[in-house]
Amino acid sequence: FLLPARVAAILPAMFKTQNLHVREIVRLSSPRVVKSAFPPTPEATATVAMSRERIIRILNQEDPRLLVVIGPCSIHDYDAAIDYATRLAAQKGELATDLIVVMRVYFEKPRTTVGWKGLINDPHLDDSYRINEGLRLARRILLEVEKDRGQVDAGDAVDHAVVGPGDEREAAALEALDQ
């Protein structure tokens, strides 16, 4: 049974059931590419390594200090994040005998169903969804917080949908951007 050419031409559009609301598909930069664009500095690496040691000692009850993870709900702006890190780092020294202060750094808002989804997903807060730019900006913030402020940070890759369904290795690699 053959359909007329004009009917056959419109059938795929009539029966489309997937990606109905997708405007475009853009390949994400791999963690390797992002990390090579913003390589870790010796200062940032030292901050992370020393802080991990201190945190492990606290968790193993070998250090009596209190571990405090503090920060905004979600990083939305580069300048605000750096300002917060600078202020936190200034206080950290005064509190060092009693506390280990870790800056909370979240770049996503996965539970938000309406509105802004976070710096990685929409770095310009304009619904442009330039995720590759968001990944680079997030990496830059983390490195500057660690290197220039000597402030360790803690985050959570909570929206693995950013890398696509079923690719847990890539999601884990994204979380490793901070390492």
Q: What is the per-residue pLDDT across 14-56, written as a single tens digit (0 to 9) for each?
A: 667 777 777 788 888 988 899 899 998 888 888 888 988 999 9
Evaluate if residue 57 carries a pLDDT over 90: yes
The DSSP line for 119-174 is: TTT-TTSSS---HHHHHHHHHHHHHHHHHHH---EE-----GGGG-TT-HHHHHHH
pLDDT digits (tens, 9 = 90+) for 88-99: 988 888 899 999
Tell me what the pLDDT averaged over the chain comes to: 81
Q: Which two tokens stand for residue 8?
A: 């056959």
Give the pLDDT band of residue 130 (cuts 50, 70, 90).
very high
Q: Which two tokens stand for residue 163?
A: 């890398």
Q: Which contacts qualify for 142-147: CB closer than 8 Å, 24 or more apart?
A: 142/44, 142/105, 142/177, 142/178, 143/38, 143/40, 143/41, 143/44, 144/82, 144/85, 145/81, 145/82, 145/85, 145/103, 145/105, 146/43, 146/44, 146/47, 146/48, 147/41, 147/43, 147/44, 147/47
Please give the pLDDT value at position 148.
Answer: 72
Q: Which two tokens stand for residue 13?
A: 């559009």
